[in-house]
Chain A
Amino acid sequence: MAENKAPEVILATDCGSTTTKAILIEKRNGSYRLAARGEAPTTVEAPAEDVTRGVINSIAEIEDITKRTFIRDDKLIVPREGDKGADAYISTSSAGGGLQMMVAGVVSQMSTESAARAALGAGAIVIDSLATNDRRRPYERIERIRNLRPDMILLSGGTDGGTVRHVVAQAETIAAADPRPRFGAGYELPVIYAGNAAARPAIEQTLGKKTALQIVDNLRPTLETENLKPARDAIHDLFLEHVMQQAPGYKKLMTWTSAPIMPTPGAVGDIMKLIARRNNIQVVGTDIGGATTDDFSVFRADRNNPESEQVFNRTVSANLGMSYSISNVVASAGLANVLRWVPVMEDERILRNQIRNKMIRPTTIPQNIESLMVEQAICREALRLAFMQHKEMAVGLKGAQKSTSFADAMSQTVKEDTLVDMMGLDIIVGSGGVLSHAPRRNQSALMMIDGFAPEGFTQLAVDSIFMMPHLGVLAQINEDAALEVFEKDCLIYLGTVIAPVGIAPFGKPCMKVKFQGKEYELKSGEIKLLPLGLGEEAEVTVDPTRKFNVGSGYGKAVTKKVKGGVVGLILDARCRPIQLPASQEGRVNLLQIWNKELDIYPEK
Chain B
Amino acid sequence: MAYAYSPGLKVLKSTVLRRNRRLPIKGQTLVKIGDKVGAEQVVLKTELPGKADVVNVMSLLGCQPHEVKQFMVKPIGDHVEKGELLAMRAAFFGLFKTRIESPMSGTIESVSDVSGQVVMRGAPVPVDVKAYIDGKVVEADEGEHVTVEVTGSFIQGIFGVGGETYGRIVVASDDPNGVLDENSFTEGMKGAVVVGGSLITYDGLQKAIAVGVNAVVVGGFDDADLKKFLGFDLGVAITGHEELGLTLVLTEGFGQIPMADKTFALLKECEGKNASVNGATQIRAGVMRPEIIVARDEEASMKENEAKLILDIGTRVRVIREPYFGMFGTVTALPAELTKLPTESLARVLDLKFDNGTVATVPRANVEIMATEKDDTQEN
Contacts and interface: CB of A to CB of B under 8 A. Distances in A.
B344 A440 contact: yes
Interface stretch (B32-40, B200-208, B230-238): B230-238
A439 B233 contact: no
A451 B345 CA distance: 22
A29 to B, nearest CB: 29
A270 interface: no
Interface string A351-392: 011111111111111111111100000000000000000000
Interface residues of A, number: 73
A57 interface: yes
A103 interface: no
Contact of A165 (B22, B54, B115, B121): B115
Interface in B357-375: 362-363, 365-366, 368
Contacts of A354: 254, 322
B253 interface: yes
Nearest to B306: A47
Given A327-B235, A331-B234, A357-B254, A439 B65 contact: no
A357 B284 contact: no
A496 interface: no
Interface stretch (B2-10, B177-185, B266-274): B2-10
B323 to A, nearest CB: 5
Given A45-B285, A359-B237, A364 B320 contact: yes
B123 interface: no
A332 B232 CA distance: 11
Given A168-B115, A172-B115, A437-B345, A368 B283 contact: no
Interface string B191-234: 00000000000000000000000000000001110100000011
Q: What DSSP secondary structure best describes chain B's contact surface? A: loop
A235 to B, nearest CB: 19
Interface in B5-40: 5-7, 22-25
Contacts of A143: 51
A324 B117 contact: no
A521 interface: no
Contacts, number: 201
B158 A360 contact: yes
Residue of B110, B236, B325 with most chain A CB atoms under a 10 A cut-off: B236
Contact of A353 (B237, B254, B287): B254
B159 interface: yes
A348 B233 CA distance: 14
A357 B235 contact: no
B53 A363 contact: no
B77 to A, nearest CB: 16
B310 interface: no
Contact of B253 (A175, A356, A363, A372): A356
Given A165-B115, A367-B366, A49 B286 contact: yes
B114 A327 contact: no
A475 to B, nearest CB: 26
A172 B120 CA distance: 11
A587 interface: no
B284 A291 contact: yes
Contact of B343 (A40, A248, A366): A366
Interface stretch (A177-185, A420-428, A499-507): A177-185
Contacts of A177: 52
B356 interface: no
A363 B5 contact: yes
Contact of B341 (A185, A206, A348, A367): A367
Contacts of A142: 51-54
Interface of B: 3, 5-7, 22-25, 49, 51-56, 65, 103-104, 109-110, 112, 114-117, 119, 121, 158-159, 222-224, 226, 233-237, 253-255, 281, 283-287, 289, 305, 307, 309, 320-325, 341-345, 347, 362-363, 365-366, 368
7 contacts: A165-B115, A324-B236, A353-B253, A354-B322, A364-B366, A365-B365, A367-B366
Given A176-B54, A330-B233, 10 more contacts: A97-B285, A165-B114, A172-B110, A248-B286, A324-B237, A358-B321, A364-B320, A365-B365, A365-B366, A366-B341
Interface of A: 17, 40-41, 44-49, 57, 95-97, 137-139, 142-143, 164-166, 168-169, 172-173, 175-178, 180, 185, 199, 202, 206, 247-248, 291, 319, 324-325, 327-328, 330-332, 348-350, 352-372, 437, 439-440, 602
